[in-house]
Amino acid sequence: MGLIGDSDVAEIRARLQEMVNPVKLVHFTQELNVEYGREARQLLEELAQLSNKLSLETYNFLLDKEKVTEYAVDKVPATIVRNGKDFGIRFFGLPAGYEFSTLLEAILAVSKGDSGLQPETRAKLTQLTRPLHLEVFVTPT
């Protein structure tokens, strides 16, 4: 049985039809001692099958050290949403529930090459004088 319900497949496919350019999901996991590791991988495998513009690469956090270093991954499960460029978008844990819709939005934004930010916001961001590290923590309650 899949993690993406049959009733949701058509809706997700329709959303993914909005993709302009291909997007790659780069997923890091390990087989043992990772809460929701198996489920995260299964969810991403099912998702990647819903669009020919979406692909999935999976790496072992313990064995694929070169890729771990390349993407600066420090915990698993971790999923990177990218195209030809790595925008720094990372999901840690199982992107289910509300996080799943956020994952879909990230895929669409990366595919379109546009963050959707208003011109005023873009102008303010150009005023940043040093790199900014932003993290959003979500917990289901």
- Determine what percent of the chain is predicted with pLDDT higher than 70: 96
Confirm whether 136 is domain-assigned: no
Residue range 70-122, pLDDT digits in tens? 999 999 999 999 999 999 999 999 999 889 999 999 999 999 998 888 999 99
Q: Answer yes or no: are the C-beta atoms of 3 and 38 closer than 8 Å.
A: no
Separation of alpha carbons 79 and 124, rounded Å: 29
Confirm whether 115 is domain-assigned: yes
In this structure, what CATH number is given to the domain that contains residue 17?
Answer: 3.40.30.10
Confirm whether 130 is domain-assigned: no
Separation of alpha carbons 113 and 92, rounded Å: 22
Confirm whether 132 is domain-assigned: no
